[in-house]
Amino acid sequence: MANSKLTTFLITIFLFCFTVPSTAKSSTLVQEIKQQSPQQDKEPFVGVNIGTDVSNLLSSTDLVSFLQLQKISHIRLYDANPDILKALAKTKIRVIISVPNNQLLAIGSSNTTAASWIGRNVVAYYPETLITDIAVGDEVLTTVPSSAPLLLPAIQSLYSALVSANLHTQIKVSTPHAASIILDTFPPSQAFFNQSLTSVMLPLLQFLSRTGSPLMMNLYPYYVFMENKGVVPLDNSLFKPLTPSKEMVDPNTLLHYTNVLDAMIDAAYVSMKNLNVTDVVVLVTESGWPSKGDSKEPYATIDNADTYNSNLIKHVLDHSGTPLHPEITSSVYIYELFNEDLRSPPVSEANWGLFYSNSTPAYLLHVSGSGTFLANDTTNQTYCIAMDGVDSKTLQAALDWACGPGRANCSEIQPGEDCYQPNNVKNHASYAFDSYYQKEGKVYGSCDFKGVAMITTTDPSHGSCVFPGSKKVSNITRTVVNSTEASGAAERLKFNTFHSSQIGTTIAFCILLFIPFVTTV
């Protein structure tokens, strides 16, 4: 009997010692998700839109890994893609999901359909996947005006379904509008909503006010500039520093506007005030600048896209506010993450992305010192690698030049060295190209090799093979970057670190409990 009691006691100790750490880990994960700091979303942020008119879009898992690597914490989808929502679980990336325009009729005319949509696309994933908002349709009032009467009923039905699921305080419901719903945007003090839309806008704004939801606006200074060339200076559109004489001045308020986006945002606030709504914030759901255009789009250039988006990011993360509301900085979702190469003409339509679909940058943003957003997508950490689709003979010639006359350090791609495998010309050429590029100080033209090389912000290092561009980065930084390369890896790293001290304490306690019994035996 004594031996039986002893056995039972030892089993109890065993279960305590070896199940507590895993239980703690699980419960901590759930608590961390449930206790996501509301303050984080009160701080202005920069997110990205993810369109899917892309010929070779990354898999959902690879997409999420890429978002983590680029330190992108907020995204907007144009649907509620189940694979992406599943891949986002436990990543802390916040996501706006959307109801496509073609689903408005079904949802707006049936509470049951709305409830089913919420169950299928929200309840099934939240809170593991951090859904923050539901965007109902996109520019409905201007692109499909015949659906305008369905818009508010659809929004209200979805909100009611959130109430039933007790998620209405965590997830907001709104709809993105085109800037053209506002007339006379400059000076902002004279702006007002198109009066033909008042019957929809007034009850919509009242709903947004009542539920604490934002007014979603798609705002493009690019189009303002293109439609008003000679009136709106390019520098004002690109956030470039201006002398006081070049600032736009609202004659009614005497407020000075140094950029077009702030004027557009303030025009939205004035338009709402004209309808007696003063407590709804503006969320910019789209803004950006194309990096390539046709002959009729001469201002769609890499330099202008880089300047606009780099300055936009700094403007938001600096908490700059607007002249009318310096206390409120609107968060912005950049349009867009990837170039959508399947888009119809004009050329600019396929060139709004920060990256190509293979995750290489369309151009390099200058965002150093602007927090952690796109921390790896700057001119400070770039690599040179071989392009896809280049024939082996051409690559071999470029490789021979880099390791010969180019005097790149190619010792690491010799047999038996860390970067020899995989033993193919593309891998060896990428290493040699990067060695030459880094040796030359990453100057313009040092990553070309007759058109077979390209610059990337994604670290090409793999396994024990560390590329030359990564050798200049501290070991601490390398660890952080590598920890984000697999979906959820960054979170696992944090959880393992967090629990290591707890586990160590538990093991020490268990050893003390076992010592008397070991001594007795």
Active-site positions read 139, 286
CA distance 180 to 193: 9
Please compute, for residue 192, the number of CA atoms within 13 A of its CA located in the half-sphere on the CB side: 9
CA distance 16 to 510: 9
CA distance 227 to 397: 48
**Using the 8-state DSSP alphabet, how is residue 121 labeled?**
I
* Of 518, 515, 506, 431, the residue nearest 468 (C-alpha): 431
**Cβ proximity of 87 and 61 under 8 Å:** yes
CA distance 351 to 333: 16
Asked if the peptide bond before residue 405 counts as cis, ω within 30 degrees of 0, the response is: no
- By the 10 Å C-beta count (0-12 exposed, 13-18 middle, 19+ buried), 414 is classed as exposed
Residue 90 CA from chain centroid, whole number: 16
For residue 327 the two structure tokens come to 């206390």
CA distance 182 to 268: 7
Other CB atoms within 10 A of residue 477 CB: 14
**Using the 8-state DSSP alphabet, how is residue 380 labeled?**
T
Other CB atoms within 10 A of residue 197 CB: 17
Distances from the Cα of 122 to the Cα of 95, 96, 221, angstroms = 11, 11, 33
